[in-house]
Amino acid sequence: MDTRRPTIADVAKRAGVSKGLVSFVFNDKPGVAAPTRVRILAAAEELGWQPDPVARSLSTQRAAALGLVVRRDPTVLAADPFFPAFMAGVETALTERRQVLVLSLVPDAAAETATYRSLAAHRRVDGVLLTDLRHDDDRFPLLAELGLPAVCVGRPDVAGAFPVVNLDDAAGLRSAVDHLVGLGHRRIAYVGGDVGMLHGRRRRKSFLEALARHGLDPVGVVDTDFSAAAGARAVVELLAGAVLPTALVFASDPMAVAGLAVLQRQGVQVPRDCSVTGFDGMDLGRHLHPALTTVEADPLAWGRAAATVLLRLLDDGRADDLELPSAALVLRSSTAPPPDPPG
């Protein structure tokens, strides 16, 4: 005989819905169809389940703080210009409300789960910002179970229970490829990021699709962890290949900066011998020699928008998705026609 206490997962399974929808019903959130709501309540009654009182209290008691839990290697994060700018944007929104950001840097999935549980159990934050979204992201059901409101930074690959603040980076990558092809490049390689993250996967897919539209195949594709060191290693690998690229498209500015250094050390002149594009729009890029052509994503504005949407969700119980202006290509002097354009 099963003597264990029923869980939110049991209710969701009985009702044939996600745990997020069960959480929405028991926290009196809008957006759940009436028949579905009735089915969830009936399933909970049949199982004798009630939501955890600590989790429910989060909807009525405020900590005046938002949470950001980042699961990355600290050395990679330290060199990534996105997160400092993103957090600065979050802080601009929170300062106006006299609220604070609680940042937790965790090494692995177990620590990540434990951190979210601790934040909820001790009522340290009112809601969280979800970055580095993943395929079949296990944070979604966890936060629904905890009753912890959240906003997705970027678009998830499944319809979820959380509002989304999205910035389309595909447009910027398409523009970078179109620009290089327009200059005459046909041997183009890509140095991507972590494809375990949705934005890493999408940037890679966008690059390949953009190249295919021009009837071209990449001369090389190397996936990395978004770090400058991995970007440098990727360039060494590509330069050792059978076909040398005349253009390199990087999925982050730190990798592009490291790639520039490798090219120059090996006697490859940029942009005469090889053009280079980055992604992020970090300010350092404009001061390099040559200045870096890049896709500008404006993480400061993204952070401010994400915090604003989460605060609206906390205040009103709902918030609409927000689509920010697409990432745009910024042309500088690291791109030029190839040394051997087709006749």
Residue 76 has a pLDDT of: 73
- Let me know if residue 331 belongs to a domain: no
- Let me know if residue 2 belongs to a domain: no
Q: Given 59, 80, 101, which residue is the final one in a domain?
A: 59
- Let me know if residue 46 belongs to a domain: yes
181 and 293 co-located in one domain: yes
Largest CA distance in the chain: 79
177 and 284 co-located in one domain: yes
260 and 315 co-located in one domain: no
176 and 222 co-located in one domain: yes
Residue 129 has a pLDDT of: 98
241 and 204 co-located in one domain: yes
Structure tokens at 33: 């169809």
- Let me know if residue 319 belongs to a domain: yes
51 and 191 co-located in one domain: no
CA separation, residue 58 to residues 65, 120, 315 (Å)? 12, 8, 12
> Which segments of the chain have a pLDDT < 70?
1-3, 27-31, 51-61, 160, 341-343
Terminal-to-terminal C-alpha distance of the chain: 79
Residue 1 has a pLDDT of: 46
146 and 195 co-located in one domain: no
Residue 31 has a pLDDT of: 64
- Let me know if residue 229 belongs to a domain: yes
Strands across the sheet containing 188-192:
220-223, 188-192, 247-250, 275-280, 293-296, 328-330
276 and 179 co-located in one domain: yes
CB 161 within 8 A of CB 23: yes
Cβ within 8 Å of residue 24, ≥6 positions away: 31, 32, 144, 161
Residue 207 has a pLDDT of: 96
Q: Partners of 221 in the beta sheet?
A: 190
Structure tokens at 198: 């949705």
Domain harbouring 37, CATH code: 1.10.260.40
Residue 61 has a pLDDT of: 66
d(CA 28, CA 139): 21
Residue 12 has a pLDDT of: 87
69 and 126 co-located in one domain: yes
219 and 274 co-located in one domain: yes
Give the count of domains, the chain: 3
- Let me know if residue 156 belongs to a domain: yes
185 and 279 co-located in one domain: yes
- Let me know if residue 198 belongs to a domain: yes
262 and 160 co-located in one domain: no
Domain harbouring 93, CATH code: 3.40.50.2300
Residue 156 has a pLDDT of: 92
- Let me know if residue 341 belongs to a domain: no
Residue 69 sits in which domain range? Answer: 65-168+299-326
Residue 159 has a pLDDT of: 76
